[in-house]
Structure 1
Amino acid sequence: MQSLFSLTARAYVRWHDLPGQGIPIVFVHGLGCASSYEYPRIVADPAFGGRRTVLIDLPGYGFSDKPRDYDYSIAHQTEVIIEVVNALKLPHFHIYGHSMGGSIAIEVAERLRERIAKLVISEPNFHAGGGVYSRLLVEKPEAEFISQVYDTILANHTSPWKGSAQNAAPWAMWRGAKSLIDGTSPSWMEIFLNLSCSRTLIFGEQSLPDSDFQYVSHKDISVAIVPQAGHSMSWENPSALAAVLNKEFSQG
């Protein structure tokens, strides 16, 4: 893995830079996840097309440091991604973000407009208020979540998500969820709609119908569906997600 001391997080952030062809694709994971854990299966799939990929573990997750004195806000996680792509000297790149990572990817695309070849997001947080899971995490104060709720959530999970969540810092998860609930102004949806780069919104078939998916589909923005999958599409149907991503990034 490669690493960088982030001036934003005041900690080391780590990532895989996997060799391949074409414009590099930066992957940004969701809440409780890690790109190093979730995405190797996707990018190794023959359907993905052998592309160069940068799999970043955000601070608080995976192999990256987990500082206590960092706010883990969407805005600051965005800054960390920008630090990494600048360190890699990527003048032009694609970016893919899932769930919380989708919100971060939207902000990266807004900040680095001319450097974004294409933005692809799957089931992102578009609005303040968070999703069901974000709201569940912050039902209790941070200290109580860390001391009690975090372990209870892990004990009740058997999905692949548990593997990454048990290696995430509970304070990172709580503060990240709180930032999603607080939202931003303008909203991530407004930012997404006003971007000039090529964009695609992906949803899992089992997550539909969805009002945001329907709304975006009526705009001049492409949409795609991963069959036989819901929100956790990278685990539920990895080959299909790999094929969808390859198709979308081939179209530019």
Structure 2
Amino acid sequence: MHSAAVTTEGDRIRWVELPGRAPVRVYVHGLGATSPAYFTATAVHPRLAGHRSLLVDLLGHGHSDRPVSFAYTLEDHADALAAALRTADVTAAEVIAHSMGGSVAVVLAVRHPELVSRLVLVDANLDPLPRVPGTPGSGGIAAYSEEEFLTGGWREVRDRAGAHWWSTMRLAGREALHRSATHLVRGTVPTMRELLLALPVPRAFLYPEADGPFPGAAGLIAAGVSLTAVPDCGHNMMLDNPDAFTEAVAKALA
């Protein structure tokens, strides 16, 4: 376990690091998750093992600190991650990032281009989302005001999330979880999709085959983003079908 102070108050991001050769690979989890739980099997799989790999927990999540004073915008997450990577002497990393982490990775590549040489986005959020009360994802969390979430809404989210997601979501700070979800559904200006289209680095996007054609696929392909449908999985494809997911990541990094 390694760590780096990433705010002026000294709040620390932590990551599990596996030794190996360059290029460095950085794994970034989604909302309410933690990278070691979601990505360790991927990072050590024979198709991907051997590279220096950082399994990073974003601020407010997993093993990292949970400051209440942090705003948890996508830009804030990206800047904090950048500070951690610089402390770790990482440049030109291959970033593999899931869900909200993919949105953060896109912003990281825009704001700190020297840190990212390639992006592999795993069913990442590219567009603003509606706030939908009673749903289990970010839109359901963001449907609460922060006060509502802190005073009891989090329990309703816990019950909707189910035991698996809650096993890592419960590690997140409650302010961090709500603010991260709120800023995720709000998105960026320009949108994460527009930022991704303009990036000059190699980019791949993985999505569950069961979801059908990915919205806006033609525009992504025209901009040079490779799209891969991963079979027999849902949103958490690295857990649902580890072998197919690892094969898709390996091809994207080839």
Q: TM-score, normalised by structure 2?
A: 0.91
1:53: which partner in 2?
Answer: 53
Whether 2:85 is the aligned partner of 1:124: answer no
Q: C-alpha distance in 2, partners of 1:120/1:186? A: 20
Q: Structure 1, residues 209-233: CA drift from partner, whole Å, max 9, x if none? A: 3313454234422111221112111
Q: Indicate which of 191, 194, 206 corresponds to 1:190.
A: 194
Contact 1:95 1:119 in 2 (8 A): yes
Q: CA deviation at 1:130?
A: 5.4
CA deviations over 1:74-130 (Å, ceiling 9, x no partner): 000000111011111123211111111111100111123244221111121112235
Q: CA deviation at 1:9?
A: 6.9
Contact 2:82–2:115 (Cα < 8 Å) also in 1:
no
Task: Give percent identity, aligned residues only.
Answer: 28
Superposed CA RMSD:
1.9
Partner amino acid, structure 1, of 2:4: L
Runs of 4+ with deviation above 6 angstroms: none
Per the TM alignment, residue 8 of structure 1 is displaced from its structure 2 partner at its CA by 5.7
SS at match of 1:196: coil
Change (3 A) 1:134 1:40: same
Normalising by structure 1, what TM-score?
0.91
The C-alpha deviation readout for 1:26-64, integer Å capped at 9, x for no partner, is: 111111111122111221222324332111101111011
Does the aligned pair in 2 maintain the 1:37–1:62 contact within 8 Å?
A: no
Task: Write the mapping of 1:105-124 to structure 2, written as runs, cut at 5 A.
Answer: 105-124=105-124
**Where does residue 23 of structure 1 map in the other structure?**
23
Counterparts in 2 of 1:95 and 1:68: CA distance versus 1, 3 Å = same
Is 2:42–2:242's contact at 8 Å kept on the other side of the alignment?
yes
What is the distance in 1 between the residues matched to 2:8 and 2:77?
Answer: 8
Name the SS of the counterpart of 1:160 in structure 2. helix
In structure 1, the residue matched to 2:6 is 6
1:10 CA drift (Å): 4.2
- Matching residue within 218, 225, 229 for 1:221: 225
Residue 7 (structure 1) shift: 1.9
Amino acid at match of 2:69: D
Query: For residues 164 and 111 of structure 1, what CA distance do their matches in structure 2 show?
Result: 28
Which residue matches 2:144? 140
Identify the range of structure 1 (225-234 vs 215-224) with the bigger mean alpha-carbon deviation: 215-224
Shift in CA distance, 39/6, structure 1 to aligned 2, threshold 3 Å? same
Alignment counterpart, residue 249 of structure 1, candidates 227, 249, 253:
253
Aligned partner of 2:175 in structure 1 is 171
Over 3 Å counting, the alpha-carbon distance change for 1:225 and 1:196 in structure 2 is same
Question: Which consecutive residues of structure 2, in runs of 5 or more, have no partner in the other structure?
Answer: none
Q: Is the 8 A contact 1:160 1:235 kept in 2?
A: no
Matched residue of 2:120: which SS?
A: strand
Give the letter aligned to residue 208 of structure 2.
G
Separation (CA, whole Å) in 2 of partners of 1:246 and 1:74: 27
Aligned with 1:52: secondary structure?
Answer: strand
Paired residues of 1:71 and 1:175 also in contact (CA < 8 A): yes
- CA separation of 1:160/1:78 partners in 2, compared to 1, >3 Å: closer, same or farther? same
